[in-house]
Amino acid sequence: MENIPKLKELVCLLSCQPRDLDTQLPAALNNLLDVTGCAAAGICWFNAEGSLQLQAQMPEEFALEAGIRQTIIQIPHLSAPRQGQNGVSWLVVPMKVAGEPKGRLWLVDESPARCFTRDECEFIMMMGNQLALALENSRLYDDVKRLAARRAELLRRVIAAQDERCRRISRDLHDEISQSLAALALDMEAMQVAAHSPGINWAGKLDSLHPRVVNALKEINRIILDLRPTLLEDLGLLPALKWFAGKRLEETGTRIHVRTTDPPPRLPAHLETTLYRVGQEAITNIAKHARAQNVWLKMEQTDSRVTLIVRDDGDGFDLNTILANTDAHVGLGLFGMEERTNLIGGRFSLRTAPGEGTRVAVTIPLTPEEAYATDSRSAG
């Protein structure tokens, strides 16, 4: 029971003070050394690849004997305290959060024959679990902070893209459509004024008006297509994505393969739009980075869900490197695809590795009402 105040002190150190693990971890380890009388203590933490790496130790200059270090790291599935003697006495305990191993806490005593008691081991395990919780909370805090930064950057880009689209549409309407229609109106007014004048070639004048009206209609259709592709509205998701992929990958010579049921199922408009935008981003990434020979577009549907898969045989990449990058601009496209999917209750999946291509899959659950709407649109 005499160690309870030290445990409370540790909890207060980790929970009650501002988050600063560079200061808190050494202080906590020194606290542990004071209680146990050991010469050194340290924390090994599992990294993203599942390997143990030294996170902190006190004293910092302490040189842990190589054989002991290897033993501490290589013990498989450590679930209980393990101790031994090798010129010095050592103890290693698992550090867990919610029962899941996150790392290992070790201590070294200069006495070659020390045997850590059961009470000491239990106390050190409690200390280790408190430290594990602090480290895990710090990791989660950093993840949330990084996601918040990426969300803010994504929102900024979405707003900027919307503003730019509005400006472009306004500019196109003013520079092309508005001026074309104004010129047509002036010509028609002039024809109206001269309606009763003899010797005017009305057929020729009407012939000159016709191509200008056609061009104005083409410009209007182009603007409408930019807002929502007609193919998506008329034919559905996969034909629209195949058309976009053909346009986007034309210069790279990438072959496009489409796999789906026959005929491809139709979805409610808001789901098709979301899947189309995700597919657009995936295809754009392939065009920019993948150097792929082939791209596969696949759509699977059941009564309860629909899945879109975009896969390529290109270069692939290291996903962990992208996710660990602190630059909010890196991986923004991937984050945007996941955000779009989450907004409609879907699940986003990405599998990739250097040299192994990339597979993006989006699965969206269908409510009974949406399944009915799907059947209705397919039948129509």
pLDDT of 13 above 70: no
In this predicted model, what pLDDT tens digit does every residue of 210-241 receive, in sequence order?
777 777 777 776 666 556 666 787 888 888 89
pLDDT of 322 above 90: no
* Selected residue with higher pLDDT from 131 and 378: 131
Q: Do domains 3-150 and 235-379 have the same CATH topology?
A: no
Look-up of token digits 């990084």: 146
CB of 300 within 8 A of CB of 306? yes
Q: How far apart are CA 294 and CA 312, in angstroms?
A: 6
pLDDT of 18 above 60: no
User: H/E element holding 53?
Assistant: strand 52-58
Q: Which of 258, 257, 226, 15 is nearest to 133 (CA)?
A: 15
For 3-150, give the CATH class.
alpha beta
Q: Ranked by mean pLDDT, which of 123-137, 264-278, 286-300, 334-348 comes out on top?
A: 286-300
Beta bridge partners of 258: 297
User: H/E element holding 165?
Assistant: helix 118-172
pLDDT of 256 above 90: yes
Instruction: Please report the pLDDT score of residue 301 as a whole number.
Output: 85
CATH fold, domain 235-379, is Heat Shock Protein 90 (3.30.565)
* Selected residue with higher pLDDT from 263 and 343: 343
Mean pLDDT of the chain: 81
Q: Which of 360, 356, 275 is nearest to 310 (CA)?
A: 360
In this predicted model, what pLDDT tens digit does every residue of 112-158 receive, in sequence order?
889 998 988 988 888 888 888 888 888 888 888 887 777 777 667 76
In this predicted model, what pLDDT tens digit does every residue of 69-104 receive, in sequence order?
888 888 888 889 999 888 899 999 999 998 888 999
For the chain, the domains span 3-150, 235-379
Confidence band for 379, pLDDT divided at 50, 70 and 90: very low
Beta bridge partners of 239: none
Instruction: Please report the pLDDT score of residue 224 as a whole number.
Output: 62
Instruction: Provide the 3-class DSSP secondary structure of residue 318.
Output: coil
Instruction: Please report the pLDDT score of residue 377 as a whole number.
Output: 53
Q: How far apart are CA 265 and CA 362, in angstroms?
A: 16
**Beta strand pairing call for 255-259 and 294-301:** parallel
Q: How far apart are CA 57 and CA 26, in angstroms?
A: 7
Beta bridge partners of 201: none
Instruction: Please report the pLDDT score of residue 10 as a whole number.
Output: 63
Look-up of token digits 């699965």: 363
Instruction: Please report the pLDDT score of residue 262 as a whole number.
Output: 63
**Out of 7-21, 182-196, 312-326, least confident range:** 7-21
Residue 378 in tokens: 């397919």
- The answer for residues whose C-beta is within 8 angstroms of residue 210's C-beta and 6 or more apart is none
Q: Ranked by mean pLDDT, which of 10-19, 179-188, 308-317 comes out on top?
A: 308-317
Instruction: Please report the pLDDT score of residue 113 as a whole number.
Output: 87
Instruction: Please report the pLDDT score of residue 207 as a whole number.
Output: 72
Average pLDDT over residues 39-66: 89
Confidence band for 31, pLDDT divided at 50, 70 and 90: confident
CB of 184 within 8 A of CB of 214? no
- The answer for residues whose C-beta is within 8 angstroms of residue 320's C-beta and 6 or more apart is 48, 49
Beta bridge partners of 295: 256, 312
CB of 64 within 8 A of CB of 42? yes
| CB neighbours of residue 296 within 10 Å | 17
In this predicted model, what pLDDT tens digit does every residue of 154-196 receive, in sequence order?
667 765 666 666 676 666 666 667 677 777 777 777 776 666 6
Instruction: Please report the pLDDT score of residue 371 as a whole number.
Output: 46
pLDDT of 355 above 80: yes
Q: How far apart are CA 288 and CA 82, in angstroms?
A: 52
Q: What percent of the chain has pLDDT over 90?
A: 24
Look-up of token digits 């010797």: 199
50: left (phi over 0), alpha (psi -120 to 50) or beta: left
